[in-house]
């Protein structure tokens, strides 16, 4: 379930991810792009739950980083793609908060 706080569950485990930015809701294709990122993470992690949590965390942290550079939805879309491509493990270590 996605929103201000994303909720990921596999029925046995659950995680809340409180990241992202409202500008994600103002650009076309955000959900489709998240699906693609989730597929990429699932391709390299045998545990679908862990892959999904990692993908949503990376995606939403990148959105937060992009929003700092953006002046509106158009510049956010470009900044988001750049932030997603440039995302480093250190960005996640510094920003990610899961509960």
On the question of pLDDT at 41 being above 90, the answer is yes
Residue 1 domain-assigned? Answer: no
What is the domain count for the chain? Answer: 1
On the question of pLDDT at 1 being above 70, the answer is no
Percent of the chain with pLDDT over 90: 74
Higher-confidence position of 69 and 98: 69
d(CA 13, CA 28): 31
What pLDDT, on the 0 to 100 scale, is given for residue 98? 85
Residue 83 domain-assigned? Answer: yes
Residue 86 domain-assigned? Answer: yes
Residue 52 domain-assigned? Answer: yes
What pLDDT, on the 0 to 100 scale, is given for residue 82? 96
Expressed as residue numbers, the domain containing 83 is: 6-95
On the question of pLDDT at 71 being above 80, the answer is yes
Write the CA distances from 37 to 12, 57, 71, 72, integer angstroms. Answer: 23, 11, 25, 23
On the question of pLDDT at 31 being above 90, the answer is no
Residue 32 domain-assigned? Answer: yes
Residue 41 domain-assigned? Answer: yes
């Amino acid at each position: 379930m996605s929103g201000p706080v994303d909720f990921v569950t596999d029925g046995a485990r659950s995680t809340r991810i409180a990241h992202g930015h409202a500008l994600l809701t103002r650009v076309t294709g955000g959900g489709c792009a998240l699906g693609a990122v989730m597929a990429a993470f699932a391709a390299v992690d045998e545990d679908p739950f862990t892959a999904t949590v990692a993908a949503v965390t990376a995606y939403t942290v990148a959105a937060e980083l992009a929003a700092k550079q953006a002046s509106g939805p158009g510049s956010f879309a470009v900044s988001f793609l750049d932030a997603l491509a440039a995302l480093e493990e250190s960005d996640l270590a510094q920003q990610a908060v899961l509960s």
